Structure 1
Amino acid sequence: MNNKEKAEEEKELGNECMKSHNPTEAILHYTTGIKLDKKEHRLYSNRCFAFLQIQQFYLALQDAETVIKLNPDWPKGYYRKGEVQFCTENYEEAIRSYETGLALDNANEGIQQAINKSKQKLEEYIKAKRRLPWMGLAFGVLVGITLILADHFVAENPMLESMVLRCLVVSVFASLGLLATWLYSYMLQLQRSSLLDPPADLGFGSTEPKCNGTTEKTKNSKKSPSAERRRSQRKCTKT
């Protein structure tokens, strides 16, 4: 049995693991298959889907891009990339990936449904983003008014009888509400970005061997500055 046949066998074993809802074991089989046949794009595609099941989005995206590189005319590669982007809430990028795949296979209903779903999610996201500052502003105004009413009806010695002070209090809390919504949006954006951060090395990364020349170059680049100065002095002496 040659390597290509062994790789196909590993792919089938991985597929069986996926059917049994065991994506981690499936990844091991797909990775073994990739080591045997690095040009088989379907292995990367299947492993991409398995990575998605365990929410390893960075590794899934790397596999999807490898699929596209190995077979740029295969629609499923762009579909896989769109899946990763959709799961990480990058809906605009997902739509572009899906549309690229659909251009290669106009009759693919699955890709068309994915485009429609992504557009719907994008629309919901935009509406929520536009609505958020108004919600923060309204909440801040409500807190400010509540504080003024409490000062007027509950406090023994009201401190906010002046209209100027009351307007100032409402303005301050309205601004704090807007600031809170901005911070919330910023934290959500950071969270979305972190979904595609590279994880710790799990052994599923690139199977390409490192170039000896690159390693040697890296070693040479670590030489101390004093060694460089001595080398320069010797050159000057010879000259």
Structure 2
Amino acid sequence: MNVDELREKGNACVKEGKHEEAVLHYSAAIQSDPNNHALHSNRSLAFLKIQQYFLAYKDAKRTIDLKPDWAKGYFRKAEVEMATFHFEKALTSYSMAFRLQKDDCSLIDSMRKAGRELKKDQRADRQIPWLGAGIGIIVGVIIVLADYLIVDKPVLVHPILKVLMTIAISFIGFGFCKLYRYYVKNQRDSLLQPPFDLSGVMKNLMATAGAPGCLKDEIIRRNSQKPRQDTGIERANQTDF
């Protein structure tokens, strides 16, 4: 099959929800035409649909490298960034796409959504540690009261000790929540890191992009047995051509 036929097969698979199979066809087409920006864009969409974020991101950036004046490349990049909770980067990428295609109203909606999510995320960064501190104060007060009311011989006799105990637990709560937010950010970053092992179907798809037809047919046959998924006609789910 030539590049056009492989691309059309990939596009048909995307419409039918067979995204793993679409990756196979796009990968074979890219082997024949590695500088085709539309193929990389389409494969980025297919990778995104199967939550292979690193590979989707890599293809989106490759699309931009090949055709930096094309809005869809930045849009693909933004979609991956939104899916991995990198809202500030997504807002920047959507803005770049809008700068190149100002007649697309859907990009305005995407920018607004990214902006809202970014504000919520920044608010969480500010508020959650202080929420932890507040909970720490409550826990500290409970401990002090329990020491005074329940224990036969209270340990926290001096008022300064009671205050210090409350402050210490408050700091622990603040620090714990800070660490939690740090952990969340690291988890998000890890979504865009290279996978340690492309196992299962994805490994087969990537490894057999140029394999003999019989092996490709076996993978396609296996994937075609999956239930068909209904796909919408929204802009994000459309291949390029």
TM-score range, shorter chain: 0.7 to 0.9
User: Which of residues 138, 145, 148 is equivalent to 1:142?
Assistant: 138
Which residue is 1:105 aligned to? 101
What TM-score does the superposition give when structure 2 sets the normalisation length? 0.79
Q: 1:191 maps to which residue?
A: 187
- AA in 1 matched with 2:187: Q
Within the candidate set 51, 55, 60, 1:55 is matched to 51
What does residue 73 of structure 2 align with? 77
> Deviation above 6 Å: which 4+ runs of structure 1?
none
Q: Does 1:92 align with 2:78?
A: no
1:118/1:12 CA distance change after superposition, 3 Å: same
Partner of 1:37: 33
Matching residue of 2:11: 15
SS at match of 1:155: coil
1:115-146 Cα deviation digits (max 9, x unpaired): 11100000100111110111010011111101
- C-alpha distance in 2 between matches for 1:69 and 1:168: 57
- 1:30-87 CA deviation, whole Å, 9 max, x = no partner? 1011112222211111110111112111111111111112222211111001111111
Is 1:27 the counterpart of 2:13? The answer is: no
Q: Which residue of 2 aligns with 1:46?
A: 42
Greater Cα offset, 155-164 or 139-148: 155-164
2:178, 2:116 → 1: CA distance? 24
Hey, what's the Cα distance between the residues in 2 that align with 1:18 and 1:153? 67
Q: Which amino acid aligns with 2:136?
A: G
What code does the residue aligned with 1:119 have? G
In structure 2, the partner of 1:153 is 149
- Residues 199-237 of structure 1 deviation map (CA, whole Å, 9 limit, x = unaligned): 2354649x9xxxxxxxxxxxxxxxxxxxxxxxxxxxxxx
| Alpha-carbon distance, 1:98 to partner | 1.1
How many Å separate the matches in 2 of 1:65 and 1:159?
A: 62
Please name the residue that 2:63 is paired with: 67
CA distance in 2, matches of 1:188, 1:123: 16
AA aligned opposite 1:94? A
| C-alpha displacement of 1:175 | 1.2
Unpaired runs of 5+ residues, structure 1, are 208-239
Indicate the SS of the match to 1:15: helix
Task: For 2:70 and 2:178, locate their aligned partners in 1 and report how far apart those are by CA, in whole Å.
Answer: 41
The equivalent residue for 1:179 is 175
Partner of 2:69: helix, strand, or coil? coil
1:190 Cα deviation after fit: 1.2
Which of the two has higher C-alpha Rg? 1
| Aligned mates of 1:179, 1:128 — CA distance in 2 | 15
How far off its partner does 1:153 sit? Answer: 1.6
Aligned residues: 202
Q: Residue 179 of structure 2: SS of its match in structure 1?
A: helix
Superposed displacement of residue 8, structure 1 = 1.6
Q: Percent identity?
A: 37
1:128-177 per-residue CA deviation (whole Å, 9 max, x = no partner) reads 11101110100111111011111122222222232111111101101111
Structure with more relative contact order (C-alpha pairs < 8 Å, separation 6 or more): 2
